[in-house]
């Protein structure tokens, strides 16, 4: 492991070690570039992960205070928990389920394809699927995505079998165990194949699920170029009189503050902290936030149109046995405006353990009507909707000047209102998912509202023109050449697909651009 | 935490836990919730006897499972008590909350019928006291590993090698997926 001096300004400083930051760090190190990786969380691993929902949540989740506003139900049921994402080395790649799907071609051209939609801030990406394909290839190889590169698909668990049964009877055609970044066979780096433990969300104790924690980061460390600093929470990005960023001010575990100088700064703190960091880095040169001359920093925040459907059956299911996301129905993922909305959605199996089912099945509910459902737990099957939600300028991350963190900085407020398109899509998905389960013989079906968001996107979006976004087609700030955004906050639109594969592909691509720009002394 | 559990053998233990009722006792100045067959007891540090009886009933009415013995709800009350012992604010919230329940009909709430008890709970359901008890119950009741077998939830699995050889795909009904949809598991 390398160790750079705080005053060493030749390094690239990356904030956040998840899918974006962790991958970018490794890609840069492999290409001879020295990296300081600041991670707010601590370093866990398969030996310290716990198969215990609440204890794991306390271990891995981002729990620093946030506030919420807007008409979304999360603001009412979980006012200080807009998102279920992570504060740990590896970021949310420790927690994710592993679903790894490429965007569809038209999803990079959402504005052109869907047209102008009132109340939505649609925009085409400044990159195309064709440009992304070589990087998707590399990401799928890196992550050992099943059903690509000769990696076999995973076997389907009981929860998948129930969904499969209903889907087939209903007439759906594309139903399978998914493209998953989970080892279906052991990998050369010594990681086990999947043992169907059922605690994917709590960190994979078998190391079978891909996570930057035990792949990208150790690989970067082996180059001798990575200086990983856990317990380092970024507070502010500094810049000089010419408008170039010069370093990152951060607090260590004791609360002492340090300024790490940098040649380049890459922000990858997920879509709530990344815009917050830029906003908290406001100065007289950047009064609205660093890199925010367009006013789009924090705006266009997206969370995917989600919701869950649980159903009870006459005979037991034991859905908690095996992978949490064990399969997918893709028949509704295309764009078909005849359904009454733009964009598409996927239906993916989902399971929660008994403790989390009680907390999330019907937040706030109590009494016999609720416990009657809980009594059916072992006879339940479940699926999760993930669909494209509309970017809106008013859905945004801002600084809450009334609420400060322990460093005296304003916390993030997440404001969200569903667009009508989101509601029509969710309604359609609830109906279709319910029909799937009824076709399988469901006794009762429950529509469950969206949880605190696990997909957080768009709040520093890419654009073809500076006025429409925060970063260009390389994730480079329009305002500040040596500042980059490297996580899902870059997404121009959300598409229907789970975001991690695209985040990894973008990071691989961005590493090449940073390397070339540094070699040409452009940054 | 003040919990003493006495049991002869595992099956008898589970039977008692699942079905047994409890009572609140005071001995040597200490308030305890006691399983009536003497199988278990919990000593409380902050909540008084009336509060303990009331909260035991309230937590059960909030999340009623007739198949669960009082033991599980007593554990929730014990958790609330632990918090009250450390926080004067929580202790006051609980004490005042119990008083609010008792004021509804000018009679100890614990003596009302179930229907009237629920009605009073509905009335105060937006209060911080209700929210505190609800939040504690929904988490700690269902987070109790001794309760999980009642719901057939199997809990931690990595130490048993996951569910790969413990029935992850043993569904006894429904269509069998074809090999393209669901390839066979790798078993080395």
Residues in a beta bridge with A267: A15, A485
**Residue A191 reports pLDDT greater than 90:** yes
Average pLDDT rounded to a whole number, residues A86-106? 98
Give pLDDT, residue B8. 47
Contacts of B123 in chain A (CB under 8 A): none
State the greatest distance between any 2 C-alpha atoms of chain A, in Å, as a whole number.
70
Q: Do A196 and B63 touch (CB under 8 A)?
A: no
Give pLDDT, residue A8. 98
Residue-wise pLDDT for A354-395, tens only, equals: 999 999 999 889 999 999 999 999 999 999 999 999 999 999
How many C-beta neighbours within 10 Å does residue A97 have? 24
Cα radius of gyration rounded to whole Å, chain B? 21
- In the 8-state DSSP scheme, what is residue A503? H
Helical (H) or strand (E) element with A373: helix A368-375
Helical (H) or strand (E) element with A28: helix A19-30
* Both tokens assigned to B29: 């100045």
Taking the C-alpha atoms of residue A440 and residue A166, their distance in angstroms, rounded to an integer, is 4
Give pLDDT, residue B16. 66
Helical (H) or strand (E) element with A397: strand A396-404
**Residue B7 reports pLDDT greater than 60:** no
Residues of chain A with pLDDT > 90: what percent?
Answer: 99
Nearest to A436 by CA among A157, A164, A174: A164
Q: Do A161 and B177 touch (CB under 8 A)?
A: yes
Residues of chain A with pLDDT > 70: what percent?
Answer: 100
Q: Do A367 and B118 touch (CB under 8 A)?
A: yes
Kindly list the strands in the beta sheet with A483-485, ordered across the sheet, starting from the edge strand earlier in the chain.
A226-230, A35-39, A12-15, A264-267, A483-485
Nearest to A324 by CA among B172, B157, B151, B160: B157
Average pLDDT rounded to a whole number, residues B92-112? 98
Closest chain B residue to A197, measured at CA: B162
Helical (H) or strand (E) element with A217: helix A216-222
**H helix runs in chain B, sequence order:** 10-19, 49-62, 70-86, 88-103, 114-123, 128-140
Q: Do B154 and A321 touch (CB under 8 A)?
A: yes
Give pLDDT, residue A16. 98
Give pLDDT, residue B1. 40
Give pLDDT, residue A516. 98
- Binned at pLDDT 50, 70 and 90, residue B13 comes out as low
Residues of chain B with pLDDT > 70: what percent?
Answer: 91
Contacts of A152 in chain B (CB under 8 A): 183, 186
Instruction: Look at A78-82, A98-102, B41-45, B166-170 and tell me which has the smallest mean pLDDT.
Output: B41-45
Give pLDDT, residue A455. 98
Closest chain A residue to B63, measured at CA: A367
Residues in a beta bridge with B4: B41
Q: Is the minimum CB–CB distance between B134 and chain A shorter than 8 Å?
A: yes
Give pLDDT, residue B35. 87
Assembly ipTM? 0.95
Taking the C-alpha atoms of residue A518 and residue A91, their distance in angstroms, rounded to an integer, is 27
**Residue A54 reports pLDDT greater than 60:** yes
**Residue A446 reports pLDDT greater than 80:** yes
Give pLDDT, residue B12. 64
B residues 50-109 near A, CB within 8 Å? Answer: 61-65, 67
Residue-wise pLDDT for A10-25, tens only, equals: 999 999 999 999 999 9
Q: Do A161 and B157 touch (CB under 8 A)?
A: no
**Residue A140 reports pLDDT greater than 80:** yes
Average pLDDT rounded to a whole number, residues A271-296? 98
Give pLDDT, residue B37. 77
Give pLDDT, residue B9. 58
Give pLDDT, residue B3. 46
Residue, of A100 and B38, whose pLDDT is higher: A100
Question: Average pLDDT, whole number, for chain A?
Answer: 98
């Amino acid at each position: 492991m390398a160790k750079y001096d705080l005053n060493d300004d030749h390094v690239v400083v990356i904030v956040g070690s998840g899918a974006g930051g962790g991958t970018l760090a490794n890609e840069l190190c492999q290409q001879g570039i020295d990296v300081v990786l600041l991670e707010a969380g601590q370093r866990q691993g398969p030996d310290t992960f716990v198969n215990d929902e609440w204890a794991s949540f306390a271990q891995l989740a981002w729990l620093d205070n946030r506030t919420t506003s807007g008409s979304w139900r999360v603001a009412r049921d979980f006012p200080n928990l807009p998102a279920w994402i992570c504060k740990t080395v590896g970021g949310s790649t420790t927690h994710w389920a592993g679903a790894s799907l490429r965007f569809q071609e038209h999803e990079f051209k959402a504005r052109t394809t869907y047209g102008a939609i009132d109340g939505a801030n649609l925009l085409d990406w400044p990159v195309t699927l064709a440009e992304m394909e070589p990087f998707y290839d590399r990401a799928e190889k890196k992550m050992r995505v099943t059903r690509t590169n000769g990696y076999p698909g995973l076997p389907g668990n009981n929860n998948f079998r129930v969904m499969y049964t209903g889907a087939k009877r209903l007439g759906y055609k594309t139903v399978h165990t998914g493209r998953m970044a989970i080892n279906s066979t052991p990998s050369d780096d010594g990681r086990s194949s999947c043992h169907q433990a059922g605690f994917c969300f709590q960190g994979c104790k078998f190391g079978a699920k891909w996570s930057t924690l035990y792949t990208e980061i150790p690989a970067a460390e082996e180059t001798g170029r990575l200086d990983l600093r856990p317990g380092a929470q970024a507070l502010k990005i500094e810049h000089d009189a010419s408008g170039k960023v010069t370093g990152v001010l951060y607090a260590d575990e004791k609360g002492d503050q340090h300024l790490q100088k940098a040649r380049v700064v890459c922000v990858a703190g997920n879509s709530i902290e990344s815009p917050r960091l830029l906003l908290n880095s406001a100065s007289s040169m950047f009064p609205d936030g660093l890199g925010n001359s367009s006013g789009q920093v924090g705006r266009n925040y997206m969370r995917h149109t989600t919701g869950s459907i649980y159903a009870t059956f006459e005979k037991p299911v034991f859905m908690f046995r095996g992978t949490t996301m064990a399969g997918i129905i893709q028949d509704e993922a295309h764009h078909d405006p005849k359904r009454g909305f733009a964009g598409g959605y996927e239906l993916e199996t989902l399971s929660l353990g008994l403790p989390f089912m009680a907390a999330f099945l019907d937040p706030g509910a109590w009494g016999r009507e609720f416990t009657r459902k809980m009594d059916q737990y072992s006879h339940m099957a479940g699926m999760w909707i993930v669909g494209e939600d509309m970017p809106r300028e008013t859905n945004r991350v801002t600084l809450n000047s009334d609420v400060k963190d322990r460093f005296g900085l304003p916390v993030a407020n997440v404001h969200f209102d569903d667009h009508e398109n989101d509601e029509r899509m969710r309604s359609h998905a609830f109906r279709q998912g319910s029909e799937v389960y009824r076709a399988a013989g469901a006794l009762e079906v429950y529509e469950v509202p969206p949880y605190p968001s696990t997909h957080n996107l768009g709040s520093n979006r890419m654009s073809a023109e500076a006025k429409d976004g925060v970063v260009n087609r390389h994730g480079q700030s329009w305002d500040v050449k040596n500042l980059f955004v490297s996580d899902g906050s870059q997404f121009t639109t959300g598409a229907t697909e789970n975001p991690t594969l695209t985040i990894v592909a973008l990071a691989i691509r961005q590493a090449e651009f940073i390397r070339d720009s540094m070699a040409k002394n452009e940054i | 935490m003040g919990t003493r559990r006495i049991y002869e053998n595992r099956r008898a233990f589970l039977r008692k836990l699942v079905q047994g009722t409890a009572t609140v006792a005071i001995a040597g100045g200490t308030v305890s919730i006691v399983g009536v067959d003497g199988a278990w007891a919990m000593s409380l540090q902050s909540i008084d006897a009336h509060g303990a009886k009331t909260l035991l009933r309230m937590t059960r009415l909030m999340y009623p499972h007739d198949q669960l013995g009082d033991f599980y709800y007593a554990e929730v009350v014990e958790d609330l008590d632990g918090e009250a012992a450390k926080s004067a604010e929580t202790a006051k919230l609980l004490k005042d909350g119990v008083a609010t329940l008792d004021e509804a009909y000018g009679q100890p709430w614990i003596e009302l019928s179930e229907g009237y008890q629920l009605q009073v709970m509905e009335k105060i359901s937006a209060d911080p006291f209700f929210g505190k008890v609800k939040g504690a119950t929904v988490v700690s009741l269902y987070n109790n590993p001794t309760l999980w077998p009642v719901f057939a939830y199997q809990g931690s699995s990595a130490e048993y090698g996951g569910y790969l050889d413990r029935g992850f795909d043993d569904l006894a009904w429904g269509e069998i997926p074809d090999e393209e949809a669901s390839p066979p598991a790798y078993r080395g």
